[in-house]
Amino acid sequence: MKLYGIPNCDTVKKARTWLDENGRKVEFHDYKKQGVPLDVLKKAAKQLGWEALINKKGPTWRKQPDEVKDSITTEKAAFEFLQATPSAIKRPLLEIDGKYHLGFSADEYNETFKK
């Protein structure tokens, strides 16, 4: 099990706390320090859709010039943008046995882990 994100993100902090409090050992991958693995983006996009990986509600996306936003019309363009701008990835991204879960909600995690 692996959790991808940025350590100072509040949502990532909530997910990590939930996992810890529920006895779930997880390896953490820090996008800022370790980069954004293209293979992970591709696998997650195959399951969730590449559009879902972009956090369009976050400040990083909102601060992008319109020409940058308008240029992201394909999976390839999205991956290039997200690798260059990891703060724009919706997070956290949780991988469990090759299946990806995006974002955090205690209810969804409870269901995922059948608590």
Q: Kindly list the catalytic residues.
A: 9
Side by side, the strands of the sheet bearing 99-102 are 27-30, 2-5, 93-96, 99-102
Alpha-carbon torsion 5, 45, 54, 85, what sign?
positive
| Paired tokens of 94 | 């949780």
| Residue 70 to residue 61: CA distance in whole angstroms | 11
Count CA atoms closer than 13 A to 22's CA, side-chain side.
17
